[in-house]
Amino acid sequence: MTYKRSSELFAEAQKVIPGGVNSPVRAFNAVGGDPVFIERAEGAYLYDVDGNRYIDYINSWGPMILGHAYKPVVDAVIEKAKLGTSFGTPTEIETRIAELAVKLVPNIDKIRMVNSGTEACMSAVRLARGFTKREKIIKFAGCYHGHSDSFLIQAGSGAVTFGTPNSPGVTQGTAKDTLLAIFNDIDSVRKLVEANTGEIACIILEPVAGNMGCIPPRDGFLSGLRRLCDENEILLIFDEVMTGFRLAPGGVQERFGINADIVTFGKVIGGGLPVGAFAARAEIMDMLAPIGPVYQAGTLSGNPLAMAAGLAMLTELDQNREIFKSIDEKTAYLHKGIQAALNSYNIPHTINRLGSMISVHFCEGEVSNFETAAHGNNHTFKQFFHGMLDNGIYIAPSAFETWFITEALSYEDLDATIEAVKIVAKYL
Ligand SMILES: *Cc1c(COP(=O)(O)O)cnc(C)c1O
């Protein structure tokens, strides 16, 4: 494959955009080389500016669960655009998508739209703090909740204490209110709760982690958190930006039968347009302005084009429930095929999967938290990534990302992917 035009465009981009990208994960810093520039996409495929076609396993990092340029979504956006693209007034479609979300997701009465997952999580934490009148939050090492200050905190050498910022620009003052726990380790959470009695507003987590590869919760982890929160009047926030409307119509709450107090959404809920949302029972949501004291706002929140895309997407999922089972089965098929291919060349690896989220880790043993996810062999991953790309398979350019499966993938596409793994595994 040649990537000539992509490299030219990347050179131009770097002159006027930091690193040539508008979101760091798009750059190939972790794997080396220049990113490919995509011109268009359809169904399961991406087409780049050099005329190469790829089977896509990023799918815009999650939203394109039904494939690219999905007709009902595209049509809804086009029709809406003709009527004007933003008014800054209430519109009917905002109520319709809210009604549908409230119908699909267990345990929520009201939902508010924002423009990204970052905004959703940031606002959910503010709401939790306003509701509980407490300031500290607990998050888990390796869980991503967007790029707002409180979340850019990492664990210092496994010590579960006050966080230290892992980005310049995040103040010590902010960092000290974010406590870090270990994913899948309920004791690490209990210790923090006991050491900070009456001070913790919320525990936020990806209930199935997807930003350190896919890491499912161990048995009893989510129910343990629920109990701990109930006993200590702490709000439990499920960040379902990745898992919402993917792992089940009602997300992890439905799939695992555990209720969260606040849920955040993004990705699928926008059908490929910039949308995030947060939702809870009425008692909590009614703390928000204009009826409550917790301020939260947005010029383009609930934007008609974004709502049209989101409503079309959620409607499709609601009316075709078999999709959820179908993508799970496709993912299981891929899992088996990749595993067999890597085993036949004795490549040490662990594959994690839950529903339509899957990740390949180039290490042996259970990958259950950030520390074990970090054991993966990054050199092997780099070779794997570039090998797959050269064979027309586009996976995320980082070993810490989940592959996103879409219903648009055919079994022929999955077989082609497994064949590519066999070719690449030979020289890993
Ligand atoms: C993607 C993601 C976010 C951030 O969403 P943006 O729309 O990129 O701001 C937050 N939480 C989780 C779990 C995510 O996967």
Contact 320, 401 (CB under 8 A): no
**166 in the same domain as 33:** no
pTM of the predicted model, to two decimals? 0.96
Residue from 224, 174, 160, 233 nearest 198 by CA: 233
Angle, in degrees to the nearest 10, between helices 304-319 and 71-81 = 150
CATH of residue 154's domain is: 3.40.640.10
Number of compact structural domains in the chain? 2
Pocket test for ligand 1, best of 149, 246, 267, 359 (most atoms within 8 A of CB): 267
Q: In this predicted model, what pLDDT tens digit does every residue of 218-242 receive, in sequence order?
A: 999 999 999 999 999 999 999 999 9
120: CA distance to ligand 1 center in Å?
9
Q: What is the mean pLDDT of residues 305-333?
A: 98
Categorize the per-residue pLDDT at 153 as very low, low, confident or very high, splitting at 50, 70 and 90.
confident
Among the atoms of ligand 1, which is closest to the Cα of residue 116? Answer: 7
Over residues 266-305, the pLDDT tens digits come to: 999 999 999 999 999 999 999 999 999 999 999 999 999 9
- Taking each helix axis from N to C end, the angle separating 411-425 and 378-390, rounded to the nearest 10 degrees, works out to 130
Contact (CB, 8 A) for 232 and 200: yes
Q: Which residue has the higher pLDDT, 160 or 55?
A: 55
Can you give the pLDDT at residue 162?
46
Residue 164 in this model has a pLDDT that exceeds 60? no
- Write out pLDDT tens, residues 13-28: 999 999 999 998 899 9
Show the tokens assigned to 353.
């999967």
Which residue puts its alpha carbon closest to atom 5 of ligand 1? Answer: 117
pLDDT class for 248, splitting at 50, 70, 90?
very high
- The pick from 118, 268, 300, 354 for probing ligand 1's pocket by mutation, whose C-beta has the most ligand atoms within 8 angstroms, reads 118
Looking at the structure, tell me whether residues 303 and 383 fall in a common domain. no
Q: Does residue 139 share a domain with residue 156?
A: yes
Is residue 148 located within the same domain as residue 172? Answer: yes
> Residue 154's pLDDT is what?
62
CA 269 to ligand 1 center in whole angstroms: 12
Mean pLDDT, the chain, rounded, equals: 95
pLDDT the model gives residue 413: 98
Q: Among 65-74, 112-121, 173-182, 329-338, which stretch is predicted with the lowest mean pLDDT?
A: 173-182
CA dihedral 19, 24, 26, 30 (to 10 degrees): 90
Residue 273 and residue 218 in one domain: yes
The alpha carbon of 244 and the centre of ligand 1 are apart by a number of angstroms equal to: 11
Is the pLDDT confidence value at 157 over 70?
no
Q: Which of 288, 319, 350 is the last residue of a domain?
A: 319
Q: Which atom of ligand 1 is nearest to the CA of 118?
A: 9
Q: Best mutation site among 206, 237, 241 for ligand 1, i.e. most ligand atoms within 8 A of its Cβ?
A: 241
Does residue 334 share a domain with residue 294?
Answer: no
CATH number, position 373: 3.90.1150.10
CA–CA distance, 106 with 48 (Å, rounded to integer): 40
Range of the domain at 33: 4-69+321-425
Same domain, 298 and 187: yes
- Average the pLDDT over 360-378 and give the result: 92
For the CA of 143, the nearest atom of ligand 1: 13
The verdict on 266 and 163 lying in the same domain is yes
Give the catalytic positions in this structure.
144, 239, 267
- How far away, in angstroms, is 212 Cα from ligand 1 center? 13
pLDDT reading at 352 higher than 80: yes
Same-domain status, 266 and 387: no
144 & 241 share domain:
yes
- Tokens at 317, concatenated: 């999922």
Q: Which atom of ligand 1 is nearest to the CA of 239?
A: 13
Determine which of 1-5, 76-80, 129-133, 230-234 has the lowest per-residue pLDDT on average.
1-5
Q: Is the pLDDT of residue 158 over 80?
A: no
Q: Tokens 């519109």: give the residue.
A: 91
pLDDT in tens, 170-227: 888 888 899 999 999 999 999 999 999 999 999 999 999 999 999 999 999 999 999 9
Q: Tell me: do 57 and 164 sit in the same domain.
A: no
Residue 25 DSSP label: G
- 134, 274: one domain: yes
Identify the domain boundary among 319, 352, 374: 319
Domain boundary among 273, 301, 319: 319
Question: Nearest residue CA, atom 6 of ligand 1?
Answer: 117
CA of 240 to the centre of ligand 1 (A): 9
Q: Alpha-carbon distance 290 to 18, whole Å? A: 38
